[in-house]
């Protein structure tokens, strides 16, 4: 049997839901007259398992797993990694630095734009936005910690 896309998708949901169901054993289900904190999540998890199973059973209509185009994976992963780094640094080194790094990395290293143009755009846009938010919109963005 060819492994089809919906087999994986449905199966993943069923497994995840089952895992979460076991994980939420400490949430009381309650009775009909006084529903507990666990009632809704458990019902929803059951629904997830049901629909996941349904999906996996009817997987015959979906294309085989191997046919999914993962060509953009490298690009997506890189963008994600850069964004994650910038987010991690956001409150630590402040808005201007972390976002300039974000923009510059994406423009220069990922997109291979000319170095100087990328640098100017990164810093210019970042500083411009910082000033815009600080003065016009009166909700300042995280400053650099060593500014104090």
Partner 1 sequence: MEATLDSLLLGFSVAFRPDVLLYAFLGCVVGTLVGMLPGIGPLAGISILLPVTFGLDATKAIVMLAGIYYGSQYGGSTTSILMRIPGEAASVMTCIDGYAMAQKGRAGAALCIAAVGSFIAGTFGVIALTVIAPPLGAFALRFGPPEYTALLVVGLVFLAYMSSTSLARTLLMASFGLLLGCIGIDVMTGHFRYAFDIPELGDGIGIVPVAVGLFGLGEILSTPSHSVTTRVAAPRLAELLPNRTEWRQSAMPIARGTVLGFLVGIVPGSAHIISSFLSYALEKRISRHPEQFGQGAVAGVAGPESANNAASTGAFVPMLALGLPTGPVTAVLMAALLIHGVPPGPQLVTEHPQVFWGFIASMYVGNLMLLALNLPLVGLFVNVLRIPYAYLYPLIIMFCIIGVYEVNHSIVDVWIMLAMGVVGYLLRKFDFDPAPLVLGLVIAPTFEMSLRQSLIMSNGAWTIFFERPIAGSLLAVSAGLLVLSLVSFLLKRKDWRDKLAEASSAESQ
Partner 2 sequence: MTIPRRGLLHLAAGGAVLAALPRRSLAQSYPSRPITLVVFVPPGGAPDIVARLIGQPLSQRLGQPVVIENRPDGGGNLALQAVARAPADGTTLLLIATPHAVNVTLYEKQNVNVLRDIVPVASIDNDAFTVVVNPTLPVRTIAELIAYAKSNPGKVNMGSSGSGNLSHLAGELFKMMTGTEMVHVPYRGMPAAITALMTGDVHVVFDALPSSVSHVREGKVRAIGVTTGTRVKALPDIPPVAETVPGYVVTGWLGIGVPKGTPADIVSKLSKETNAVLADPEVVTRLANIGSEPFATSPDGFGRFIATETDKWAKVVRFANLKVE
Give residues in contact with partner 1 (CB under 8 A).
5-6, 8-9, 13, 20, 24, 27-28, 31-41, 44-45, 47-48, 51-52, 54-55, 58, 62, 68-72, 75-76, 79-80, 83-84, 86-87, 90-91, 95, 99, 102-103, 106-107, 111, 113, 121, 125-126, 129, 133, 137-139, 141-142
Closest approach of partner 2 to the CB of residue 144, in Å: 12
Considering only residues 116 to 145 of the shown chain, the ones binding partner 2 according to CB under 8 A are: 135, 138-140
Contact 56, 14 (CB under 8 A): yes
Contact 68, 49 (CB under 8 A): no
Contact 144, 96 (CB under 8 A): yes
Total residues interacting with partner 2, rule: CB under 8 A: 6
Closest approach of partner 2 to the CB of residue 135, in Å: 6
Is 31 one of the binding residues for partner 2 (CB under 8 A)? no
Residue closer to partner 2, measured from CB, 66 or 136 = 136
Q: Which residue, 45, 65, 54, is CA-closest to 4?
A: 65
CB neighbours of residue 56 within 10 Å: 19
* Rounded CA separation 61/5 (Å): 9
**Sequence-ordered list of residues with C-beta below 8 angstroms from that of 51, at least 6 positions apart, any chain:** 10, 13
Residues forming contacts to partner 2 in the complex (CB under 8 A) are 135, 138-140, 147-148
């Amino acid at each position: 049997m060819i492994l089809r896309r919906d087999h994986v998708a449905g199966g993943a949901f069923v497994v995840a839901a089952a895992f979460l169901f076991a994980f939420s054993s400490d949430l009381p289900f309650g009775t009909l007259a006084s529903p507990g904190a666990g009632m809704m999540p458990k019902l929803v998890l059951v629904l997830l398992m049901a629909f996941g199973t349904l999906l996996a059973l009817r997987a015959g209509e979906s294309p085989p797993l191997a046919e999914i185009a993962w060509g953009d994976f490298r690009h997506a992963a890189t963008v994600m990694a850069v964004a994650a780094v910038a987010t991690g640094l956001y409150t630590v080194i402040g808005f201007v630095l972390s976002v300039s790094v974000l923009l510059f990395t994406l423009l220069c290293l990922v997109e291979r734009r000319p170095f100087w143009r990328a640098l100017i755009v990164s810093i210019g846009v970042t500083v411009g936005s910082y000033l815009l938010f600080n003065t016009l919109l009166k909700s300042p963005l995280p400053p650099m910690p060593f500014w104090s």
